[in-house]
């Protein structure tokens, strides 16, 4: 299974050829697709900040249908606290939401498909698949 980051979901909505090619590749391999509640929330934030919020929110709902929403469970919450503490002790920041996304993916043993390599490569143990 792979977890789809917000960058990937947004690129699907924008009909980015690289994102669609990656989606096709994943579907051909029958790899189950997931995302996190945080990614879904970020997608809706963008939709409701747009000039056409109803249309964009509908598009977000359509995009999110391709993936199962992972649970933000106790394991993910503990991983978040540990990861953020470790990063801060090194003087590094990734951002709370990206750290939470990574924590959920790790708690469910998922790799992450993203273009946001700069942030996510700082997360120990997270496997990143770019497109």
Q: Environment class of residue 20 by beta-carbon count within 10 Å: exposed (0-12), middle (13-18) or buried (19+)?
A: middle
- Distance, in Å, from the CA atom of 9 to the CA atom of 44, rounded to the nearest integer, reads 11
Asked whether the beta carbons of 39 and 8 are under 8 A apart, the reply is no
| Residues 103/79, Cβ–Cβ less than 8 Å | yes
Mean pLDDT of 78-88: 96
Average pLDDT over residues 104-128: 95
- At 93, the pLDDT band (50, 70, 90 cuts) reads confident
Q: Could you tell me the domains of the chain? A: 2-129 (3.40.50.1010)
pLDDT one-digit tens code per residue, 12-70: 999 999 999 999 999 999 999 999 999 999 999 999 999 999 999 999 999 999 999 99
Q: Percent of the chain at pLDDT above 70?
A: 100
Dist CA 1 CA 58 (whole Å): 25
Mean pLDDT across the chain: 96
pLDDT at 112: 98
pLDDT of 89 higher than 90:
yes
Contacts of 111 (CB under 8 A, 6+ apart): 2, 3, 105, 126, 127, 128, 129
In this predicted structure, the answer to whether residue 119 has a pLDDT above a threshold of 90 is no
Q: Are the beta carbons of 3 and 108 closer than 8 angstroms?
A: yes
């Amino acid at each position: 299974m792979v977890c789809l980051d917000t960058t990937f979901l947004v690129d699907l909505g924008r009909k980015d050829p690289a994102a669609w090619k990656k989606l096709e590749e994943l579907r051909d391999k029958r790899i189950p697709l997931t995302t996190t509640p945080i990614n879904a929330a970020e997608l809706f934030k963008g939709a409701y900040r747009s000039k056409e919020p109803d249309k964009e929110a509908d598009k977000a709902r359509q995009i999110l249908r391709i993936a199962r929403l992972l649970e933000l469970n106790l394991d993910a919450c503990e991983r978040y606290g540990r990861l953020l503490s470790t990063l801060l002790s090194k003087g590094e920041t990734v951002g709370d939401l990206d750290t939470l996304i990574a924590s959920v993916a790790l708690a469910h043993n998922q790799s992450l498909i993203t273009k946001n390599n700069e942030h996510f490569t700082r997360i120990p143990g997270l496997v990143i698949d770019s497109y």
